[in-house]
Amino acid sequence: MKDYYAILGIPHTATEAEMKKAYRSLALKYHPDRAPGDKSAEAKFKELSAAYGVLSNPEKRREYDDALAGRRAAVDSEGGSAAGGGIETWTIDEILRQFGGIFDGEFGEQLHRSRGGARPGYDAETSLEIDLRTAALGDKVAVSLDGELTCTRCGGRGTEGEKASCPVCRGTGRSTAQARQAQQFFTVTRPCATCRGSGVDPTKQCPDCHGAGLLNRKRTINIAIPEGVEDGSVLRLKGLGGAGTGGAPSGDLLVKVQVKPDPEFRREGSDIHSDIEVPVHVAALGGKVPMNTVRGSVKVNVPAGSPSGSLLRLRGRGIHGGDHVARVMVTVPRRLSARQRELFEQLAAEAGEGPEA
């Protein structure tokens, strides 16, 4: 009796999510399309699928666990009983139909296309670094991406004229053959060698995409950054991911936003904070000093007698109606002219704090 847990490399207490993650990782590694002609990889793929087919089904898993513990009769080692589910007699295409959702992303899209089927495009992912001002106010940012796009010459049809099916595979993009494993026969499906899996008559294929309907191209798109977007946010752009095949729609583009630290501003919710340097005479007498905000430069009124560390709040100068909070940093001149020194000494004398004799 095979140990399906050992085959998947998971403990007997593995959760459904852990089991799915293990199966996906191993199945992608041993998938026949990644190792064409490798019989051992194909056998491993089917063994993994047999294990997952049982353990992913709660009822079959209970029966299998009971059998493993010796509470029931031993399960046939080739999966012929209810616990085994008979999955080892399935074709590769049947496995993909059963567990196809596990192969999401670009590789899953390529697997499906190699079998001539229509499939929605995969969701592409990218990251985008922006500055705090862009995050606060929103803007459009140009981004260059590489990926598969619909062939412009044939419009994704794979042929310049009316689509003509491959005479060998009849448009399926697949060829099949009988194989034997562990005294059982099963059908092995491969991409059609004549049309290379496109399903299109090679004599009428589009000369640019060779019947695939897709081309790898670089493109530049303008991404609209919404006002107030936060660091780590993910923007979903509909229809800007990988192109679909067989007339299916394109996937989405997922953009992870990274906001660079700003040397002048820092964000706290909807408020923007910064420091403002105030000359000592303005701090004492009051007055206006210029200050930068994410929404431009303004002059802020500093009340008389403002000490260092006091806060000035500018209403509505932050994000989404938030405020800009400025911390007063009182500055003193590093060098004094003779007149300035005289005035400071006079001020100190009047305050009873003149220099000691």
Question: What are the residue boundaries of the structural domains of the chain, listed by start?
Answer: 1-103, 266-350
Q: How many angstroms separate the CA atoms of 203 and 158, rounded?
A: 11
Q: Looking at domain 266-350, which CATH architecture does it have?
A: Sandwich (2.60)
Task: Give residue 154's pLDDT.
Answer: 80
Each residue of 95-123: b (16+ CB within 10 Å) or e?
bbeebeebbeebebbbbbbbbbbebbbbb
pLDDT exceeds 70 at position 100: no
Q: What is the pLDDT of residues 318-337, one digit of tens each?
A: 999 999 999 999 998 888 88
- Using CA atoms of 109, 115, 120, 126 in order, give the dihedral in degrees to the nearest 10: 10
CATH no. for 1-103: 1.10.287.110
**Who contacts 328 (Cβ-Cβ below 8 Å, separation ≥6)?**
276, 278, 283, 302, 306, 307, 308, 309, 310, 311, 312
State yes or no: pLDDT of 354 exceeds 80: no
Of these ranges, 91-95, 201-205, 298-302, 337-341, the one predicted with the greatest mean pLDDT is: 298-302
Most confident residue range from 7-16, 210-219, 266-275: 266-275
pLDDT in tens, 117-171: 556 777 888 899 999 999 999 999 998 888 778 887 887 777 777 767 788 887 7
Has residue 213 got a pLDDT over 80? no
pLDDT of residue 113: 45
* pLDDT for the residue 114: 46
Q: Does pLDDT of 116 surpass 80? A: no
| pLDDT in the model for residue 78 | 41
pLDDT value of position 283: 94
Query: Is it the case that residue 204 has pLDDT exceeding 70?
Result: yes
pLDDT cut 70: percent of the chain above it: 77
Query: What is the spatial distance between Cα 61 and Cα 218, in angstroms, rounded to a whole number?
Result: 47
* pTM score: 0.54
pLDDT band per the 50, 70, 90 thresholds, residue 278: very high
Q: Poorest-confidence range of 9-23, 112-126, 172-186, 236-250?
A: 172-186
pLDDT value for 245: 67
Question: Of 12-26, 72-86, 182-196, 222-236, where does the model show the most confidence?
Answer: 222-236
Average pLDDT value over all residues in the chain:
79
Q: What is the pLDDT of residue 352?
A: 75
